[in-house]
A and B are shown apart, each in its own frame.
Chain A
């Protein structure tokens, strides 16, 4: 039997200091904090520890579990699991919206102030200027998504609600549009196609099959949502310096408060 040919060697490596083995605190991803820094988040659900800042003056940020984006006042950067900068490009002022591919290795950033899309693929940041005709059909962009390597989505707020506008990345043209009935901004679209938004009771996780999971939470009046790991979304109170973490793992959904940085 073929399986019998397999030999499992010793586990002596498990305790070594090699990068791929050892004992360390579990990392939950990266989050922006009230002091404007990007920090790794360690711990498990219900017990969070803020790591040391890896970047400051951060306006927007998101992390897929493998790669992340951060936006400063003048730059857009891609960073890796250790917080290390992978690539940097100049960017217009203001915040940005981010999305990642299903494998977490590719990403899409949108800078509303310049109406510019930036792709992270193959280790590079590639900019796309959204054309005027394309833009005129949009509305207010509230989120972006990267459903495939060739398509992106803009989640836009229109008078009649939230819409998803799918478009081909090259050339840029609208491929399809659909109304996201019942969805409200702010909203985050995960690579899996799940939508994370809020209702009066708390957080709503709408799956691609339109089933929903409701996570009870007392939400701030005004907040933003950013992906902080593959199955975690950060919720930031825009009025005061409080940050929350939404656990999205199926069957383990939950709403938690992140420790405040700098105290």
Chain B
């Protein structure tokens, strides 16, 4: 209710010439100030059904008392709400306490011109009322407008058995009106349900919404419904004890549960898109309740998930005691959709609509619209290659549509040229392509966004395979005391990166000998090297080099090389056969000393079986001395030496021969050493001093 106060004043005698001695003047009072009133007063606008009260003050501006004899109003929509008892004597004005107050109510029934005549004694004032264009609220099933300020009574309701009250907004004016806000307050009142402001109503159009009253106890409840500028009181009475088991259905909107009525509008979805609406079912009673029936009938709607029935619900104490039912809406043609969701005996009508303003997105040769959030998989694509997918934006509606934006994100995904915004006529389509060019051998993800809808893009990048690699020796002849090297040629020019290792292992064929530390790579770690391959390589790099050198040691056995490169393994072996003792001239020396001859010779015995030594001495002419060869059994000495040395089969014998007489005539010595495979000889080592 809108209240406007008007003071009736007598200060302007020319306007209100009541009498010479007693002048009455009419003022309009706005709650604070008095404003003199002329012959015509336009009062505040009221919507049909609303009441606007205008307050007047009457003053005696003369020097003697004045009597108000007549106070009347004549005219449809206007009534005197309050006035002093007639006759009423006014003392000369000295202040507010000496005024008389008259309240006139204006309550238009419809949108039409209103006027009335307000008569005070012999003076008449014309009151003109204006009607605001406002929606008229009425109860569902009743055509009687509800006046602003009126009360909607939900009656007596048992806790746990909410009552829904339907309300209808009607535009009874000749112009389109907009209801900017519709709100419901009050602890047990919920709404508006089924209608969201702002609501635009063309002349004669109606809109329906509901308000739920769900008392929490057996007490009265009050609330307020505000429709634009109009407010309505809500009241209801909770009665008795809660029902033993009551099911209440809520729609989950964001994080809030909102009670639903008989009608739920799930909204609008583009063709092919899916809108999911989630419901919570609560048992608001005191005892357990059982969900016996959950069903859905209607094209375009599907129950996505629901509890298995029968399903027992405990009395509601929180989210954990709710049951959730998810319903999807997926329109396939441009139309309005409805379905009936039945939960036990409660039927809820679900409404949905297909958006006709969105283009249908299809991919490849498929005619099935892509659902927003769907994934388009480009498959597995080699790095350096590309996969192109064709998309089509179609307009199946009867009117032209505009596609404002098409965008692609994600590494490796690119969009073909498109001129946007693009107009697509009815029945027309607009093709475009998305290209997937993987940058690495990993899964790539991206998005395609068409206006407000987003689709996922996915592709598997395939790193090019390494060409076959092999182990190549500079020399394939295995022998002790050698330096050899390995390279790793590739079967073809590599297009890929690769990393791996080349490892060396040695298996001795000498009984009792497990290893020979001298068998090793000559650079980097002793028995492992890093192997890398880069695009463009025709051979792998080993430890940063094109090849890696190794030495074969001085022990018979097998050297095994293992190449592990990009999950493939290659092996190559180099067999080191047992041989006779290999003597090295660098180790030879023969020295004459006073009273002795010192002879040294050495090399390696890769069988560790050296046993017999034989020394033969010669004179300066090379003639063998008559003593002949001096034989020495050295098997145990060599065995002891090989058991303790870390030098593999390497050895150098230092022999001292005590001599009686001059040594100057001794010219040469020949040393022979025997192992399991035969005898080796150091021939004619010359003596020096």
A residues lining the B interface (CB < 8 Å): 2-11, 13-15, 18, 20-28, 42-49, 231, 241-242, 247, 249, 252, 256-260, 263
Contacts and interface: CB of A to CB of B under 8 A. Distances in A.
A46 B481 contact: yes
**Contact residues of A: prevailing secondary structure:** mixed
A44 B587 contact: yes
Contacts of B632: 11, 14-15
9 contacts: A2-B665, A6-B660, A6-B665, A7-B659, A11-B632, A11-B655, A15-B632, A21-B655, A26-B651
A4 to B, nearest CB: 7
B666 interface: yes
Contacts of A257: 483, 522-523, 549
B88 interface: no
Contacts of B399: none
B657 A11 contact: yes
Interface in B609-657: 613, 615, 617, 619, 625-627, 630, 632, 634, 637-638, 641, 645-648, 650-657
A113 to B, nearest CB: 31
Contacts of A242: 522-523
Contact of A47 (B526, B553, B613, B666): B553
A259 B551 contact: yes
Contacts of A24: 641, 651-652, 654
Contact of A26 (B525, B625, B650, B656): B650
B634 A15 contact: yes
Interface residues of B, number: 60
Contacts, number: 159
Interface string B187-202: 0000000000000000
A79 to B, nearest CB: 21
A14 B634 contact: yes
Contacts of A45: 481, 584, 586
B205 interface: no
B632 to A, nearest CB: 5
B584 A44 contact: yes
Contacts of B84: none
Interface in B551-575: 551-554
B586 A48 contact: no
B661 interface: yes
A35 B615 CA distance: 43
A7 B625 contact: no
Interface in B40-54: none
B480 interface: yes
A2 B653 CA distance: 29
B652 A14 contact: no
Contact of A9 (B481, B551, B554, B658): B658
B242 interface: no
A5 B587 CA distance: 30
Contacts of B461: none
Given A3-B619, A8-B630, A47-B604, A25 B652 contact: yes
